[in-house]
Structure 1
Amino acid sequence: MTERPLRADARGNQERLLSVAAVAFARDGTQTSLKAVAKEAGVGVGTLYRHFPTREALVEAVYEHEVTVLCDAAAELLRALGPADALRGWMERFVDFMAAKHGMADLLRPVLLSEADRLHTRARLRAAIATLLDAGAAAGVIRPGVDANDVLMALGGVTMIAGEEGQRALATRLIDLLLHGVRAPGLTS
Structure 2
Amino acid sequence: MTTERRPMRADARRNYERLLAEAEAAFRERGTDASLEEIARSAGVGIGTLYRHFPTRDALLEALLHDRFATLCEMGADLLGAKSPRTALVSWLREFAKSSNRYQGLPASVMATLNDEDSRLYASCHAMREVGEQLLARAQQAGEVRPDLLASELLLLVASISWANEHSPNSIDRFLTLLVEGIWS
Superposed pair shares fold, TM > 0.5:
yes
Identity of aligned residues (%): 22
Taking a change above 3 Å as real, the CA distance of residues 8 and 103 of structure 1, as seen in their structure-2 partners, is: same
2:98 aligned to which of 96, 101, 112: 96
TM-score, with length taken from structure 2: 0.58
Residue 150 (1) aligns with residue 149 (2) = no
TM-score, with length taken from structure 1: 0.57
Q: How does 1:1-189 map to 2 (within 5 A)?
A: 3-5=3-5, 7=7, 18=20, 21-29=23-31, 30=34, 33-34=39-40, 36=42, 52-53=50-51, 57=55, 59-65=57-63, 66=65, 69-70=68-69, 73-79=72-78, 82=82, 83-102=85-104, 116-117=117-118, 120=122, 123-137=126-140, 140=142, 142-143=144-145, 145=147, 146-160=149-163, 162-164=164-166, 166-169=168-171, 171-183=172-184, 185=185
Question: Residue 166 of structure 1: CA displacement?
Answer: 4.3
Check whether the contact 1:18–1:61 (CA below 8 A) recurs between aligned residues. no
Taking a change above 3 Å as real, the CA distance of residues 104 and 74 of structure 1, as seen in their structure-2 partners, is: closer
- Shifted more, 145-154 versus 70-79: the winner is 70-79
Question: Residue 152 of structure 1: CA displacement?
Answer: 1.6
Give the number of aligned pairs.
168
Report the RMSD for the aligned CA atoms in angstroms.
4.6
The CA distance in 1 between the partners of 2:55 and 2:71, in whole Å, is 22
Q: Which structure shows the higher helix fraction?
A: 1
